[in-house]
Amino acid sequence: MTRFLVAAAVAVGVGAGAARAGGPPPVYVVVDRVEATADAVTIHGAFVRLKAGPRYEYGRPVEGFVTLALDEAKADACRAEWKKWRQAAGTGRAVAVGMCGAGGALLKVAIHKPGDKPGAADATYTPGHLGAVDKQDWDDEAPVRELLAFVKEAKEARSARREAGR
């Protein structure tokens, strides 16, 4: 009986550690706005992504947008997630995308500069990777803190430019 209890305690301990041991989300986005058409979605905001390689290192946050095409085979799932992206827009929260290095199309798709014009989709949207949009997750992680600081700085810079232009 004692062996069983020790084995159960070890299994629970290992399982609890494994929930986060697989790694944090590879992409975080602070969404400004979302434009959805019948066959594509454009997500504007600030992005930070996991760098390629064996370690969990993130690149620098960047501001811009991505345009992703509808996956016809998963159209309902895509459109349902696009609604969630719209819910995240303007909240100022970082949305996690993916887990354990898998982030769908957002992990590799081109992030266009804010002044660029949206054009054809650069990749196909892959549903199933979007994290919670109604709360801030992972806010204790360095890339989230850096992303939120980047967004705050960019917002303050835009405000200062507007004030200087008056």
pLDDT surpassing 60 at residue 6? no
Q: Where are the domains positioned within the chain? A: 22-165
The pTM assigned to this predicted structure is 0.82
The predicted pLDDT at position 91 comes to 92
The predicted pLDDT at position 101 comes to 63
**Taking the CA of residue 152 as centre, how many other CA atoms within 13 Å lie in the half-sphere pointing to its CB?**
8
The pLDDT tens digits of the residues spanning 27-79 come to: 999 999 999 999 999 999 999 998 887 777 899 999 999 999 999 999 999 99
Q: Alpha carbon of 103 to those of 7, 23, 66: distances in Å?
A: 34, 12, 14
pLDDT surpassing 70 at residue 21? no
3-class SS string, the chain: CHHHHHHHHHHHHHHHHHHHHCCCCCEEEEEEEEEECCCEEEEEEEEEEECCCCCCCECCCEEEEEEEECCHHHHHHHHHHHHHHHHHCCCCCEEEECECCECHHHHCCCCECCCCCCCCCCEECCCCCECCCCCCCCCCCHHHHHHHHHHHHHHHHHHHHHHHHC
Alpha carbons 28 and 143: distance in angstroms, whole number: 8
The separation between CA 58 and the C-alpha centre of its own chain, rounded to angstroms, equals 12
Two structure tokens written together for 137: 């997750």
The pLDDT tens digits of the residues spanning 36-48 come to: 999 999 999 999 9
The pLDDT tens digits of the residues spanning 89-141 come to: 999 999 999 877 677 888 889 999 999 998 899 999 999 888 888 776 677 88
Residue with tokens 């995308």: 97
pLDDT surpassing 90 at residue 87? yes
pLDDT surpassing 60 at residue 10? no
pLDDT surpassing 50 at residue 8? no
Two structure tokens written together for 77: 């799932």
